[in-house]
Structures are given as C-alpha cells and as structure tokens.
Amino acid sequence: MNYNLTEVLARFGISGSASRYGNGHINDTYLTDDGKYILQRINANVFKNPDDVMNNILAVTKHMRESLKKLGRDYERETMTVINTVGGKPYYLTEEGDFFRVYLFISDTITYQMVEDPEIFYNAAKAFGDFQKMIADFPADKLNETIKDFHNTKVRYENFKNSVAQNKSGRAEEVEEEIKFVTDREHYCDVVNQAIKDKTVPLRVTHNDTKLNNVLMDKETGKGVCVIDLDTVMPGSLLYDCGDSLRFGTNTAKEDEADLSKVSCSLEYFEAFTKGFMEVMSDTMTEKEIELLPFSAILMTFECGMRFLADHIDGDTYFRISRPNHNLDRARNQFKLVYDMEQKLPQMKEIVNKYR
C-alpha cells in the first residue's frame, strides 16, 4: 500500500513530506524533509493493537522523562517524544488498518548497523544498561504484552515445529539439516522461562529488541544518547535484552551474510558489551541473571535463527526479504554463530566473572 505521506503528516499538524530512513525489518520509517520528525508506518501484521503499543511507549517514556528530570539530565534528548495527531491521539489509524506515528527527531546522532569497534559496543551496552536503570522501578505488570510470547523460546519452538509440520512453502525437505540443528537443542528452550517461574530471574520491564542500531549515538563523543524502537517494551527478562545484543553485536559478519566462513563470535566484543552493561547494572542483577548471561547469547541467537528458518519454511511472511532464500541465509548465519558460541562458552563465563 502506497500512502500519500504529505496527507499522513497533515494528520499530525505537520506540513511537507518525508523520505525513507533507516533499515528496519518490520516497520517503514521516514524522516521529514525539514529533518525535524520521524514518521513510522507500523506493521499491522506484527503489531495488531496500536493502543497497546502506544500506551506502553507513552507510559515508559513518561517515566523515563521524570527520572531524567530528577537527575538533571536532558530528557528531550535522552528519551523519545511522541507527537500527537491534531485530534490528540498518539497515532493515526488508516482505513486499511495500518497505523502511523510521529516522534521528534533527535539530531546530531548516528546509528551503527554493525559493531565496528569495541568502544562502540561498550557505549551501546552502557546505554542499554542505563535504559534498564531508568525503568527499574516501573511495575512490569502495568505494561501490555504487545506480541504474545515474543521471547518465550519454548513457545517459539512449538511454533517452529508447527511450521515444519505444515510446510506451507514445500521447503522443509530442503532444510532437514537446519531443522535437526534446532531439534537437537530443544533443551535450551525452557531454561530462562523456568528461572522466571522460580523467581531466581526477576520479571522486569525490558526492551526485547536490543540491536546495536536501536541506540542513537552522539556524533561527537560516540556515547549512547537514546534507546529507540520501543514497540516491544513489555514484561520480560534482562537476559533477553543482553542475549539479543550479544547475538547481534558479537557476530563478525552481517546478520544475513551467506559466506559462513566469515561468521564467528568475537570474544573481544563480548567483553566490551559485558563490561559496559555490568558497570551500570551488576549491583541490581541477581546471581542467576549473572550466571545465565553467557548462555543468554546462545539462547537468543538460537531463537532468532529458529524464527528465520520457520519464516523460510512458511514462505517468507514475517521478515522482509530482498533476495531468494534470504531468511534461510539468515538462519544458517545464526546457527553458525550458535555453534561458535557453544565452543567459546567457558571463555564467555570467565569474562562475565571478571566484571561481576
């Protein structure tokens, strides 16, 4: 569906138009021509209830703004600002069921698609840790679950098995080796769930999509300014956030690199993230959270690869693709990274213990 962005922006009292911006898999993002606002079309196939999404974002950003004010920090720069429509709503819902929202653009910042320097990853880790600190006293049960069972790996595994059984695209027979890779690791799926159930891992407000490119970094200092893309902020485990960052940031290749010889887990980057995050958060983490931190990288990488493979088998209905077998390349990439992390788990544990 092609929308007239000038008409959409007018719903928010903004004149002019906008151009494509960023590299998101799920939503469509635009920057207004005057460089003042970010406009996003939210994928209604993924986020089916705009009220739940926006209520979470408004609640969390309000809480963070108040926390930052008390600390004398720049709340307009360090958290996102939602712009309402002319009718006073935080989003515009189209007749087709898509919804648009607008944020103030945070200037003089950059994002990175890949870790190019350990210092970048260290600063991103501190930003994610700081995000956790700002919302540590926000009650998790006050937030909506915007995507049910988003990081419930046990449920993801059951969904994966259903995808294989249904084999909608007829591709399952071509990826038997990859399917076996997943089924051989079924025992990973309930480790964090069980720790949450026995309360050794607390339920927290978590971001749940902590890729490097979801941190705006200051152009001059290189330090983290603001954590963005809050659609999946909801109750969860700190381990999901750490694990997903490590999945993305320690990979020595791009997430969709098809040449698997380039894919490995950088222990240098693992240490940079661990150092930055634990400098901010170690005093509030439980023993079990610290113990499972290295495993969380394996778990989130395994979960992501499993989701890419399921989408390939389903016929590429969830993740945006730009070439044939794109999701299969992504899945193989993640599985190679899982295997490498498994081999390096002892060293990863040593690094975590160094900064506890």
The whole-angstrom separation of Cα 138 and Cα 221 is: 30
Please determine, looking at this structure, whether the domain spanning 118-354 carries the CATH number 3.90.1200.10. yes
243-279 burial, b for 16+ CB within 10 Å, e for fewer? bbbbbbbbbbbebbbbeeeebbbbeebbbbbbbbbbe
Domain with CATH 3.90.1200.10 in the chain: 118-354
pLDDT, mean over the chain: 94
For residues 332 and 46, the model is more confident at 332
Amino acid at position 287, single letter: E
| 81: pLDDT strictly greater than 70 | yes
Q: How far apart are the first and last CA of the chain?
A: 50
pLDDT of res. 27: 82
pLDDT in tens, 3-37: 899 999 999 999 999 999 876 667 889 999 999 99
pLDDT of res. 116: 85
For residues 27 and 72, the model is more confident at 72
pLDDT in tens, 155-189: 999 999 999 999 999 999 999 999 999 999 999 99
Q: Which residues make Cβ contacts (< 8 Å) with residue 311, sequence separation at least 6? A: 317, 318, 319, 327
Instruction: Please give the average per-residue pLDDT across 106-114, as a whole number.
Output: 92
CATH topology of domain 5-107: Phosphorylase Kinase; domain 1 (3.30.200)
Q: Residues of the chain with pLDDT > 90: what percent?
A: 85
Domain with CATH 3.30.200.20 in the chain: 5-107
